[in-house]
Chain A
Amino acid sequence: MHRPPFDLRERDLEDFATGAWILGTGGGGDPYFSMLEAKQHLAAGRRATVIDPLSLPDDALVACVGQMGAPLAKQEKLCDGDVIASTIPMMEEYLGRRFDAVMLWEVGGSNGFQAILAGLLLGLPIVDCDAMGRAFPQADMTTFAICDLPAYPWTMVDIRRNRILFTEAEDWSWMERMTRRACTVFGASAATCKAPRTGAEVKRATCLHTLSRGLSIGRTVRAAREAHADPIAAVVAAEGGMVLFRGKITDVMRRATEGWLRGRIAIEGLDADLGQTMAIDFQNEFSVAWRGDQVAATVPDLITLVDSASGDAIGTETVRYGQRVTVIALPAPAILTTPKGLKHVGPRAFGFDLDFHSVFAERPA
């Protein structure tokens, strides 16, 4: 049985923004701007129809769109749906074939909305899946790379309509290196249509129903707030996650390099964590959390920083001295924690000489 198609309403856009920001693990950029634009398109009578990936014919052709770059750039350059949408006809022109649907490259942060904006503007159905199940900084950190699907062709457009077509790359890390360099030249942000996927590939090599997961997390937060309950506890309970730390931000060190935002935040414990400290390293997204000098959690487990009161996620580009935060962990999609998956998205892929031990490993199934 396939899930029936459904149209996103204004309230769904708000809930998905909340959920996608939590799944963004600090990166992917605040979905707020893209949500604002999507609302305008909805108000203008355009439709965003979400379909089940399992309902796709094997030979369907699916576009996969996303914005790449440093989240800091997006804070100032905001959002332009027609730029992301323009990557798709460019790809169609190269392929000589039209797309049947558009899927999310990355559900976390604002990237989940790029497929929604493209779907709204081009009238394409939006497939309920993505290639990360969260947010990651690099193209070689995707289910497509894990499943050894080709990384090309790839189209890239910037706000000035500078257009690049990458026709071939040896592998995903080469595609990442080439596109990253181009993205940096474009001012640390660019809109991309990644390698096209068939319906068959989408069904076996993506994280399924992740748009729905983001929507459901957002609805959990909304329901908890309306009931004056703790939204963080509600999300942790609904998603099988856990609270890692509560405290106050005492330092934020960030540097924009090679189109990424890297750095480290320091947190001083409050409540049950009084007297303890936590540090979290990030490369766009949070990658490794340290309690004192011990590893507390690593990628691909989702490490998310949320406002201790509101439950809203906090991004690596907006986290500030003095904020009161709760660090939570959510389980990663299974494909990411396989031995092959960990080669692409485990701590070593981020330059940490650490093995992955899921914070959820000790928990009875």
Chain B
Amino acid sequence: MTDILRIGIDVGGTNTDAVLIQGGSVRHAVKTATTADVMGGILATLRRLLDESGTAGDAVGAVMIGTTHFTNAVVQRRGLARTAGIRISLPAARTLPAFVDWPADLRAVVAAPSHAVRGGYEVDGQPIAPFDADAVRAAARAIRADGTTAVAITGAFSPLNPDQEQRAAAILAEEWPDAQVTLSHELGRIGLLARENVSLLNAALVPMARRTVAAFADALAAVGIAAPLFITQNDGTVVQSDEAAAYPVRSFASGPTNSLRGAAFLSGLDRALVVDVGGTTSDVGSLVNGFPREANNVVEVGGVRTLFRMPDLLSIGLGGGTLCNPADPNDIGPVSVGFRLTERARVFGGPDLTTSDVAVAAGLVELGDRSRVADLDPAYVRAAIARIHAMIADAVDRMKSDAADIPLIAVGGGAFLVPDSLPGVSEVVRVPHQGVANALGAAIAQVSGEVDQIFRDLPREAAMARARELAEARAVRAGADRESLKLVEMEDIPLAYLPGNSLRVRARVVGDVA
């Protein structure tokens, strides 16, 4: 890693964390409460980070921001734009219209009247039916009349041939210049319904993503930082902020990814389990070669089926703010006081008994006023702590994928709840700055290079090798260190309808910033 000064910021639901790193070591870290006003919160965090570390804004070389705004918007069903789908597939896929498998509450917020038109491609590249430009034009006018500006266009087999999606977008631009259009072939692979879902979610998020990213940029400008702004992506890499604003769904899982990558960085371990204990949940993930192990198959976001590759995480309802039943030490959670810990918990003068209170009584951590939990029965405290430890041990065990003992890295504000020894765990690793692992994960995020193109008259192995070389060259151009490049994704689709031996190959590599 080079000597440039980098700032990593994690904007979480409760806290906004920031770190300043240089040459692979942490220069300074701060934690502040997240504010409803995005810019204000980031600005306050940046000011503290720079002031406390005595750093001038213009000395900063890059800023990486990881945010849960976009996922939270979907999960909490707020800040989403009403969105219309245009599907180009008729007469295929007629009985399963856009939004068909969305949860009713999310559909109620997002779904505008959607349209299906004749067209799309068969698997062999011939048209399903002639592309119906007039129907697209009519759909565009109806969408405009409905007052919807967010539009997702999905054509059957568009990953093999994006032509009709692009033609539809051109017609939309003529009829409805203010429309904000997402094209499905830019976001997904084969699988019409999931690709359409992702495109609809993306379109619904773009207006908010633009505002959010603009607020981030304003905050940087206000503290005198002129360095490029990057946003972290699901796979632990970063992209420039304008691209992130156009494809917010690619940032969905960046929170957990950053946390796991930060844990790997802080511990120096690249094969370990990680438990991130927050205020409301504990998330257990697994690091393999320094990257989060990914979940297989279908991933749901806010109840919507997608084709994303996300870190494989197990979340349990146990965090530092989780409520404990004073009458039964085994009755813990899943309800949490969340960000209101400092007004609700007993050690802070509040009325509720939380896991943090029990941990203070047990002497595991110093928080607030210990005398406020002096009345707790030591037998109750022992039993409740045993229960908390058992819950964490069970979650850790369920995430283990091999029989050998493996280290467990404990991070997050509630890491004091993690016991010092667990079955199947070789050691519990506690690291400095563990409370800001997410921000660190953002700060050390890597650069990727991707290629997605058609190769003709090359044997499959040669085409794949060529795709990989091209992806690597792009990553290096974008600032990656060649020695650190790793292949993270490789997929090939034979294109039977094209002459010769045609293969579409997608390859993605990632590497450290040089």
Beyond A40-B95, A79-B96, A160-B129, is A271–B398 a contact (Cβ under 8 Å)?
A: no
Beyond A187-B124, A324-B296, is A309–B312 a contact (Cβ under 8 Å)?
A: yes
Question: Which of A78, A161, A252 contacts B92, CB < 8 Å?
Answer: A78
Assess whether A255 is in contact with B494, with CB atoms less than 8 Å apart.
yes
In the assembled complex, the CB of A109 is this many whole angstroms from the nearest CB of chain B, namely 15
Determine the distance from Cα of A31 to Cα of B297 in the docked complex, in whole angstroms: 14
Q: Which of B105-113, B185-193, B442-450 contacts A (4 or more CB under 8 A)?
A: B185-193
Assess whether B294 is in contact with A256, with CB atoms less than 8 Å apart.
no
For window 122-150 of B, CB contacts with A under 8 Å fall at 122-124, 126, 128-129
In the assembled complex, the CB of A345 is this many whole angstroms from the nearest CB of chain B, namely 26
Assess whether B95 is in contact with A80, with CB atoms less than 8 Å apart.
yes
Determine the distance from Cα of A188 to Cα of B128 in the docked complex, in whole angstroms: 11
Return chain B residues, CB-CB under 8 Å to A257: 496
Determine the distance from Cα of A37 to Cα of B93 in the docked complex, in whole angstroms: 11
Assess whether A78 is in contact with B401, with CB atoms less than 8 Å apart.
no
Q: Is B386 an interface residue (CB 8 A)?
A: no
Q: Is B460 an interface residue (CB 8 A)?
A: yes
Assess whether B92 is in contact with A159, with CB atoms less than 8 Å apart.
yes
Q: Is B58 an interface residue (CB 8 A)?
A: no
Q: Is B489 an interface residue (CB 8 A)?
A: yes
Assess whether A309 is in contact with B296, with CB atoms less than 8 Å apart.
yes
Q: Is A55 an interface residue (CB 8 A)?
A: no
Return chain A residues, CB-CB under 8 Å to B252: none
In the assembled complex, the CB of B184 is this many whole angstroms from the nearest CB of chain A, namely 11
Interface residues of B (CB under 8 A from A): 89, 91-96, 100-101, 120, 122-124, 126, 128-129, 156-157, 190-193, 293-298, 309, 312, 398, 401-403, 460, 489-494, 496
Assess whether B489 is in contact with A321, with CB atoms less than 8 Å apart.
yes
Return chain A residues, CB-CB under 8 Å to B124: 184, 187-188, 256
Interface string of A143-159 (1 = CB under 8 A from B): 00000000000000001
Return chain A residues, CB-CB under 8 Å to B297: 307, 310, 312, 314, 318, 323
In the assembled complex, the CB of B194 is this many whole angstroms from the nearest CB of chain A, namely 9
Assess whether A307 is in contact with B491, with CB atoms less than 8 Å apart.
no
Determine the distance from Cα of A75 to Cα of B95 in the docked complex, in whole angstroms: 14
In the assembled complex, the CB of B234 is this many whole angstroms from the nearest CB of chain A, namely 14
Assess whether B157 is in contact with A76, with CB atoms less than 8 Å apart.
yes
Interface string of A309-330 (1 = CB under 8 A from B): 1101010011011111100000
Return chain B residues, CB-CB under 8 Å to A321: 489-491
What are 21 A-B pairs at a CB distance below 8 A?
A36-B96, A72-B123, A75-B191, A76-B89, A76-B92, A77-B93, A79-B93, A80-B93, A159-B128, A187-B122, A188-B122, A254-B494, A255-B496, A256-B123, A257-B496, A270-B401, A308-B401, A310-B296, A314-B297, A323-B297, A324-B401
Determine the distance from Cα of A73 to Cα of B123 in the docked complex, in whole angstroms: 6
Q: Which of B89, B157, B297, B492 has the most CB of A within 10 A?
A: B297
In the assembled complex, the CB of A227 is this many whole angstroms from the nearest CB of chain B, namely 13
Beyond A160-B91, A188-B122, A257-B496, is A36–B101 a contact (Cβ under 8 Å)?
A: yes
Q: Is A33 an interface residue (CB 8 A)?
A: yes
In the assembled complex, the CB of B256 is this many whole angstroms from the nearest CB of chain A, namely 16
Residue of A nearest to B158 (CB): A76
Question: Which of B94, B126, B192 contacts A187, CB < 8 Å?
Answer: B126
Return chain A residues, CB-CB under 8 Å to B92: 76-78, 80, 159
Q: Is A82 an interface residue (CB 8 A)?
A: yes
Assess whether A73 is in contact with B122, with CB atoms less than 8 Å apart.
yes
- Using C-beta atoms within 8 Å of the partner chain, give the interface range for chain A: 35 or more
Q: Is A141 an interface residue (CB 8 A)?
A: no
Q: Which of A36, A160, A320 has the most CB of B within 10 A?
A: A320
Determine the distance from Cα of A37 to Cα of B95 in the docked complex, in whole angstroms: 7
Assess whether A256 is in contact with B496, with CB atoms less than 8 Å apart.
yes
Assess whether B192 is in contact with A78, with CB atoms less than 8 Å apart.
yes
Determine the distance from Cα of A165 to Cα of B321 in the docked complex, in whole angstroms: 68
Return chain A residues, CB-CB under 8 Å to B128: 77, 159, 187
In the assembled complex, the CB of A77 is this many whole angstroms from the nearest CB of chain B, namely 4
Assess whether B96 is in contact with A187, with CB atoms less than 8 Å apart.
no
Return chain A residues, CB-CB under 8 Å to B120: 76
Return chain A residues, CB-CB under 8 Å to B295: 309
In the assembled complex, the CB of B54 is this many whole angstroms from the nearest CB of chain A, namely 44
Return chain A residues, CB-CB under 8 Å to B492: 253
Return chain B residues, CB-CB under 8 Å to A97: none
Assess whether B89 is in contact with A318, with CB atoms less than 8 Å apart.
no
Q: Is A363 an interface residue (CB 8 A)?
A: no
Determine the distance from Cα of A322 to Cα of B296 in the docked complex, in whole angstroms: 8
In the assembled complex, the CB of B191 is this many whole angstroms from the nearest CB of chain A, namely 5
Determine the distance from Cα of A40 to Cα of B94 in the docked complex, in whole angstroms: 13
In the assembled complex, the CB of B421 is this many whole angstroms from the nearest CB of chain A, namely 23
Return chain B residues, CB-CB under 8 Å to A75: 190-192
For window 76-106 of A, CB contacts with B under 8 Å fall at 76-82
Return chain A residues, CB-CB under 8 Å to B293: 324
Q: Is A228 an interface residue (CB 8 A)?
A: yes
Question: Which of A36, A73, A160, A307 contacts B296, CB < 8 Å?
Answer: A307
Return chain B residues, CB-CB under 8 Å to A23: none
Determine the distance from Cα of A308 to Cα of B398 in the docked complex, in whole angstroms: 12
Residue of B nearest to A320 (CB): B491
Return chain B residues, CB-CB under 8 Å to A76: 89, 92-93, 120, 123, 156-157, 190-192
Assess whether B89 is in contact with A317, with CB atoms less than 8 Å apart.
no
Assess whether A323 is in contact with B296, with CB atoms less than 8 Å apart.
yes
Beyond A40-B95, A270-B402, is A70–B123 a contact (Cβ under 8 Å)?
A: yes
Beyond A73-B123, A271-B401, is A318–B191 a contact (Cβ under 8 Å)?
A: yes
For window 263-277 of A, CB contacts with B under 8 Å fall at 270-271, 274
Q: Which of B91, B293, B460 has the most CB of A within 10 A?
A: B91
Determine the distance from Cα of A236 to Cα of B395 in the docked complex, in whole angstroms: 24
Determine the distance from Cα of A188 to Cα of B123 in the docked complex, in whole angstroms: 7
For window 35-85 of A, CB contacts with B under 8 Å fall at 36-37, 40, 70, 72-73, 75-82
- In the A-B complex, list the 3 residue pairs whose CB atoms are closest, starting with the nearest: A187-B122, A78-B93, A77-B92
Residue of A nearest to B100 (CB): A36
Determine the distance from Cα of A70 to Cα of B491 in the docked complex, in whole angstroms: 19
Determine the distance from Cα of A112 to Cα of B296 in the docked complex, in whole angstroms: 25
Determine the distance from Cα of A282 to Cα of B492 in the docked complex, in whole angstroms: 17
Assess whether A33 is in contact with B193, with CB atoms less than 8 Å apart.
yes
Determine the distance from Cα of A188 to Cα of B156 in the docked complex, in whole angstroms: 14
In the assembled complex, the CB of B131 is this many whole angstroms from the nearest CB of chain A, namely 15
Return chain A residues, CB-CB under 8 Å to B156: 76-77
Question: Which of A78, A159, A228 contacts B96, CB < 8 Å?
Answer: A78
In the assembled complex, the CB of B127 is this many whole angstroms from the nearest CB of chain A, namely 9
Determine the distance from Cα of A79 to Cα of B93 in the docked complex, in whole angstroms: 6
Assess whether B123 is in contact with A187, with CB atoms less than 8 Å apart.
yes
Return chain B residues, CB-CB under 8 Å to A40: 95
Determine the distance from Cα of A161 to Cα of B128 in the docked complex, in whole angstroms: 12
Determine the distance from Cα of A81 to Cα of B92 in the docked complex, in whole angstroms: 11
Return chain B residues, CB-CB under 8 Å to A160: 91, 129
Return chain A residues, CB-CB under 8 Å to B398: 228
